[in-house]
Structure 1
């Protein structure tokens, strides 16, 4: 009788282990999307509306940036995004506006201190001279040559239109160099379409 009881107990134990194992494997089912969502890195995003940022050097205002929307994204590299236009007024040492910049989009990488601008980028100085390009960088650490691009540019002065590829310019847009001039058109000032 002891042998029968021992066999019966072992049989019950094996059946219980088998049933528990089946339930365990059946209950551990995840689809791939759920697993990826579980381990996905959470990106922090802060949002601000109607933003005004003042850039100063030595206590003097050098630029004021305005944008209807600013997003600060904390990812592997923290950056600030201006997805709905931005406008910047640049000031001289006397506190007067010396040039203006507009773009439909901007991205500022905090670690590099460079603003990437794209879509209808335009700079206008006090003389009414205009720079138009699709993409440009504004690097505040490059004193005297803060603006640069390798994309096509168009510069309109009071008497001519200059097209080219690539350019560097000062923030006040008084100094500029076009890497490769592709065309120049002289236009009398009274007939010039601004």
Structure 2
């Protein structure tokens, strides 16, 4: 019995040593291993990121999920569960906000694509609704080639396509489909009834 245990232990030890010494990967072999590009390199949850310049916060971004993909050709971050972004002026006050159900940010290009229920609000309370929006951090411009609705205190503008500055204080609707004037007194009466 003692001999059989010794043989069993010795057999296991020989097998383990054989496995240990037979596993070898050269550096060249490791360099040829390809990783699946469809999986993110980094996943973060419940994130708040501040971007600053000269110790002044310029942008604040919040997202429940960020998936980062580091690629040679063009790295990007994907916001599959939505994103909320605030832009600040030099005094630290919010100039505008962007919110969407999905976004993709290309870091090297300085571009962000937002889609699915995109809402932009500026400091005057003017609101843009669209399904697709592109923001270029280098030119500080936002644009859309999709249907847009802009709600101001005096009117609602419908159109196809838009170009604007990133704080949404200046904008141009490309193909206006309609303008509805809003009577603030009527709006107030409707709010009082509800």
- TM-score tier by shorter-chain length is 0.7 to 0.9
Task: Quote how far apart the aligned CAs of 1:165 are.
Answer: 0.9
Match of 2:41 in 1: 45
Match of 1:134 in 2: 131
Please state if 1:65 is matched with 2:61. yes
Q: What are the equivalent positions in structure 2 for 1:87-126 lying under 5 Å apart?
A: 87-126=84-123
Task: Give, in whole Å, the separation in 2 of the partners of 1:178 and 1:46.
Answer: 38
Task: Quote how far apart the aligned CAs of 1:69 are.
Answer: 0.3
Aligned length: 155
Task: Quote how far apart the aligned CAs of 1:173 are.
Answer: 1.4
When the two chains are superposed, the root-mean-square deviation of aligned CA atoms in Å is 2.0
Over 3 Å counting, the alpha-carbon distance change for 1:112 and 1:63 in structure 2 is same
- Other structure's SS at 2:91 match: coil
Task: Quote how far apart the aligned CAs of 1:126 are.
Answer: 2.1
Task: Give, in whole Å, the separation in 1 of the partners of 2:107 and 2:137.
Answer: 12
Please state if 1:150 is matched with 2:145. yes
Task: Quote how far apart the aligned CAs of 1:98 are.
Answer: 1.6
- Other structure's SS at 1:191 match: helix
Task: Quote how far apart the aligned CAs of 1:58 are.
Answer: 3.1
Per-residue CA shift, 1:128-175, capped at 9, x if unaligned? 1100000001111113xx211111100000011001111111222110
Task: Give, in whole Å, the separation in 1 of the partners of 2:88 and 2:184.
Answer: 27
Task: Quote how far apart the aligned CAs of 1:114 are.
Answer: 0.2
Match of 2:20 in 1: none
Per-residue CA shift, 1:84-125, capped at 9, x if unaligned? 011011111111112111100010112211000000000112
Task: Give, in whole Å, the separation in 2 of the partners of 1:151 and 1:57.
Answer: 32
Task: Quote how far apart the aligned CAs of 1:191 are.
Answer: 3.0
- Other structure's SS at 1:65 match: strand
Q: Normalising by structure 1, what TM-score?
A: 0.74
Match of 2:25 in 1: none
Task: Give, in whole Å, the separation in 1 of the partners of 2:57 and 2:49.
Answer: 10
Alignment counterpart, residue 70 of structure 2, candidates 70, 74, 79: 74
